[in-house]
Structure 1
Amino acid sequence: MADISGLPGFYRIAEADPGRRAVVDTDGTVTTYGELLATVNRVSHGLRERGLGRGDVVAGVLPNGVDAVVMLMATGQIGLYYVPINWHLTAAEIDYIVTDCDAGLVVADPSHAVEGALGGVAELAEGQPETAPDDRSSGAVMWYTSGTTGFPKGVQRPLSDSTPEETVPLYTWFLGEVCDLRPGDGVHLVTSPMYHSSPCAHTMFALHLGHTLVIASKFEPETVLELIDRYRVTNAMMVPTMFHRLLRLPEEVRGRYDVSSLQQVIHTAAACPVAVKKAIMDWWGPVLYEYYGSTESTIAFAVKPGEWLERPGTVGRPAPTFQARILDEDGKELPPGEPGMIYVASNLGGFEYRKDPAKTAASMRGEWYAPGDIGYLDEDGYLFLCDRRTDLIVSGGVNIYPAEIEAALLEHPAVADVAVIGVPDEEWGHTVVALVQPSPGTRPSREELLEHLGPRLARFKHPRVVEFRDELPRTPTGKLSRSRVRQEYLAR
């Protein structure tokens, strides 16, 4: 392969080394950098032909695969916002996001029926030239994330007037500082759905670093080991649930696969138990890199393997360009070792929730953003998390918001009141539990309520446990006391 270490990102790498392997798709099909760039350029022209210009929005309901990659890179060079949508959502949930983001165009895989959507990228690319579009400028991904209201909001960042070649080097430098990822002949394994922010971002930046993408359609422990072995994977992004499942494989299965090629396995999205992380590094070596942040803050804290082994349990120190503070409820800064609300700030650029200035303002204290978690800094500035925000459930590395589930259950006539909580689970992080107070004179069943949720919420949001209560605790003002619900449930 050619030396691409000095080239500023995917588009220039593809021009300089078109035969370089870019993508190994879920079915094993290989796409080169030159072939990928040709399709990306054709789709960029196709988007413009349909009247989409700088600042407009394109949404994609696409499973992991080369089409999802094409949409990221095509919108990324013509100043568009791209909204990747979770294909597991119901039609109503998808429609809400499409409407809220004002998508000028929706591209969906033919297996996912989305009204008014184009069936894949081929329709956009048809008849278009393979040359680079004129007036190129950097686009941005606008990920949708739910808030405590249960309604997803787009996290929107200002667009740059610069070309990708002018903006990408800053971000590849940042990723190198945090994760030791460098331009070259690396191989990145995509293990998670690309509609999530971290897997999506790592997919893009693997290409900007000249790496090969090996895409798994979904996470299966032995399949992932086989792909690491076969393609000599050097880096991947995972969540702690995956580590749980990998460690549960029998020793003889683990021993079949050579994982010595791994150099960086980055994990985020949920707290990883110390014993689990140590067990993975005993198996794979000191290759686990961790960062903590959110869709809004991006990577705010990071820790490399050696640092973590010296301070087990930390999620790291502030990443480059970031500052951190721990404040009490009155906004007073707390000393090392004392838990409080985490606030971060960075000069990398801010964000806003699309069409929701009130929500944007509520998440900030001046220039400081609160991810909503409680933690403390040690004397050396390393962050230790104490708890997630009170209401958030993190299951399998995915954020689940109780208010959304509660609102859907309250639509059932037999539900008078409901509290949804997350209960600690060794494998998934949290299990979703719904405690239901039936309406007088009714006796709903668990099956009936889950059937009711079917068209309203994606299955990963459905409670695994449904229990019934005569009454749910409330505060003196009448507000549901979820903390008391949780305490009483766990005490039992």
Structure 2
Amino acid sequence: MQHVVEIPEVRATWNPSGPCIADDREQLDNQTFVKRVRTAAAVLYANGVREGDVVAVVLSNRLEFVVILFAAWRLGAAVSPVKPDSTVEEVRYQVEDCRAKVVVTEGGREGATLDVTEVAGPGAEVAGPESAQVDPSAAALIIYTSGTTGQPKGVVLDHANIAAMCAMLVGALALNDTDHSLLILPLFHVNGIVVSVLSPLLAGGRATIAGRFSASAFFGIVERVRPTYFSGVPAIYAMLVAQPESSAPDTSSLRRAICGAAPMPAELIARFETRFGVPIVEGYGLSEGTCASTLNPPGGPRKPGTVGRPLPGQTVAIMDADGRVVPAGTSGEVVIRGANVMRGYLGRPEATAHTVVDGWLHTGDVGYFDPDGYLVLVDRIKDMIIRGGENIYPKEIENVLHAHPAVLEAAVVGAPDPVLGEVPVAHVVTMPGARVDAADLVEHCRRTLARAKVPVSIELTEALPRNPVGKIDKRKLRALVADAIVTTT
């Protein structure tokens, strides 16, 4: 296929009755899918959507999202997905910021231009305009960042970005027409769109969209749907590992599981693979890089504790504070160059110029390459703790905590200290049924870490705060510990 936007038409010609996309409500073959796309394009066109416009989509995970995505692209318009549980103010901000022509929602939501059933529901095929000639440099997706530092920014990904990313993933994961992805991540995030929908459809495979993720129901869906892979974040794998030991699901259809969004502790990878017999392929990337930049090779060797090697077609390097590339083994900021790097932040030239310098996407992540060329992430630059002038990376402490058999998840942040400036504080979720207290975990840290890196307090908690994509929300954790610290040292 020449272009991702041609997927519906090409698939309908190639195999009209072959399965294409499904969700909890219905299943569409290729022929039905392209009819839905054409009809949705006609409805959007009738509501004023033209080439260069933006369609805002406020939907939960459902196949109509994908129908509307291709319908907008058919008209030469871009799509900006909005987190479905956003407040009215949050939706208004994004809609106004991206200057959306129409807003498609579900269930009569306030601020809607169109209800999803009007645009992409089942019904008679409606004739619409011919498919637009898509300019590779035209905006395809406008994905909003989680906004942990100020207002969310719109990441503009053009059609060339999307096409390059999908081609890279299809090649790296060796996807083909026998692949069937199970989407469990939210469709308002680029990982859900690119890894679990566009790439398998481009490869001739199929996709099933699951609703809201439930750890207890997940393997029942796997047994019923029989996918070949799914993509998740570390929190999802932690929840699955925490399921009762008595459950022994049939995972034989799964060739691999993919993990991204945040580094996954090697111990958690081992627990999942040992218990469920499914290999985890860990990767790394950003929305600004259209999703993925490195990947542990599915054919091996996979190296837990790393996020793999650069994807073919991308250059990943490590730079020092002066913008010089440093040799392998030296830590610095991870920078990325390739056809997948975003066009920029919508309407924010200064932020764009700060993030993309001479073609290099500056990630804000600290990392280094090991002797085999695998990227090891050290931490986020902004998460670094400075204790009495000493730089401490929370991830090092978290890795030590994860090595304790009673620890399921751990998150470390800096807490204010009147003398030292900052001190490390840990929040830990234990394995179900595990018996361990904070003092045990502090002692465990003391055996491995230098004194300055040992957490001054460890709080055992039932859950860690998360952002909408499932990453641990360290900003909320820092707010929790800012007021008072109970020291255990």
In the other structure, the counterpart of 1:439 is none
- How far apart, in 1, do the equivalents of 2:73 and 2:488 lie? 50
- How far apart, in 2, do the equivalents of 1:203 and 1:19 lie? 19
Paired AA for residue 232 in structure 1: R
- How far apart, in 1, do the equivalents of 2:93 and 2:262 lie? 27
* 1:317–1:383 Cα contact (<8 Å) kept: yes
- Tell me whether 1:250 sits opposite 2:244 in the alignment: yes
In the other structure, the counterpart of 1:15 is 13
Paired AA for residue 122 in structure 1: E
Distance 1:468 1:382, change over 3 A: closer
- How far apart, in 2, do the equivalents of 1:312 and 1:466 lie? 31
Choose the corresponding residue for 1:107, options 104, 109, 115.
104
SS in 2 for 1:26: coil
In the other structure, the counterpart of 1:389 is 381
Distance 1:169 1:344, change over 3 A: closer
Distance 1:388 1:89, change over 3 A: same
- How far apart, in 2, do the equivalents of 1:355 and 1:489 lie? 45
Distance 1:422 1:67, change over 3 A: farther
Distance 1:48 1:213, change over 3 A: same
In the other structure, the counterpart of 2:28 is 31
Choose the corresponding residue for 2:184, options 175, 188, 191.
191
Paired AA for residue 8 in structure 2: F
Distance 1:30 1:102, change over 3 A: same
Distance 1:469 1:158, change over 3 A: closer
- How far apart, in 1, do the equivalents of 2:158 and 2:71 lie? 18
SS in 1 for 2:145: strand
Distance 1:132 1:185, change over 3 A: farther
Show structure 2 runs of 5+ residues with no match.
Answer: 385-393, 396-412, 414-421, 432-471
SS in 2 for 1:270: coil
SS in 2 for 1:143: strand
- Tell me whether 1:262 sits opposite 2:224 in the alignment: no
In the other structure, the counterpart of 1:409 is none
Shift of 1:277: 0.7
Pairing 1:116-195 to 2, within 5 Å after superposition: 116-123=112-119, 129-130=126-127, 133-137=130-134, 140-147=140-147, 149-159=149-159, 171-182=165-176, 184-195=177-188
SS in 2 for 1:36: helix
The number of residue pairs the alignment matches comes to 403
In the other structure, the counterpart of 2:401 is none
- Tell me whether 1:204 sits opposite 2:202 in the alignment: no
- TM-score normalised by structure 1 residue count: 0.74
Distance 1:131 1:106, change over 3 A: closer
% identity of equivalent residues: 27
* 1:57–1:101 Cα contact (<8 Å) kept: yes
Shift of 1:463: 4.2
- TM-score normalised by structure 2 residue count: 0.74
Distance 1:43 1:262, change over 3 A: same
Distance 1:375 1:468, change over 3 A: closer
- Tell me whether 1:227 sits opposite 2:221 in the alignment: yes
* 1:286–1:305 Cα contact (<8 Å) kept: no
- How far apart, in 1, do the equivalents of 2:6 and 2:75 lie? 17
Shift of 1:81: 0.8
* 2:103–2:111 Cα contact (<8 Å) kept: no
In the other structure, the counterpart of 2:272 is 280
Distance 1:261 1:469, change over 3 A: closer
Pairing 1:393-412 to 2, within 5 Å after superposition: none
Distance 1:232 1:426, change over 3 A: same
- Tell me whether 1:40 sits opposite 2:37 in the alignment: yes
Distance 1:290 1:467, change over 3 A: closer
Shift of 1:77: 2.4
Choose the corresponding residue for 2:369, options 358, 377, 396.
377
* 1:168–1:208 Cα contact (<8 Å) kept: no
Distance 1:179 1:19, change over 3 A: same
In the other structure, the counterpart of 2:449 is none
Pairing 1:283-432 to 2, within 5 Å after superposition: 283-285=275-277, 287-298=279-290, 299-305=292-298, 307=300, 309=302, 311-348=303-340, 350-391=342-383, 425-426=428-429
In the other structure, the counterpart of 2:462 is none
In the other structure, the counterpart of 1:96 is 93
In the other structure, the counterpart of 2:63 is 66
Deviations along 1:212-236, whole A, 9 cap, x unmatched? 3222211112321111111211111
- How far apart, in 1, do the equivalents of 2:258 and 2:482 lie? 40
Show structure 1 runs of 5+ residues with no match.
Answer: 1-6, 161-166, 395-401, 403-418, 429-459, 471-487
Shift of 1:335: 2.1
- How far apart, in 2, do the equivalents of 1:225 and 1:373 lie? 34
Pairing 1:467-478 to 2, within 5 Å after superposition: 469=483
* 2:64–2:120 Cα contact (<8 Å) kept: no
- How far apart, in 2, do the equivalents of 1:275 and 1:306 lie? 21
Shift of 1:209: 2.6
Higher RCO (C-alpha 8 Å, min separation 6): 1
- How far apart, in 1, do the equivalents of 2:367 and 2:162 lie? 32
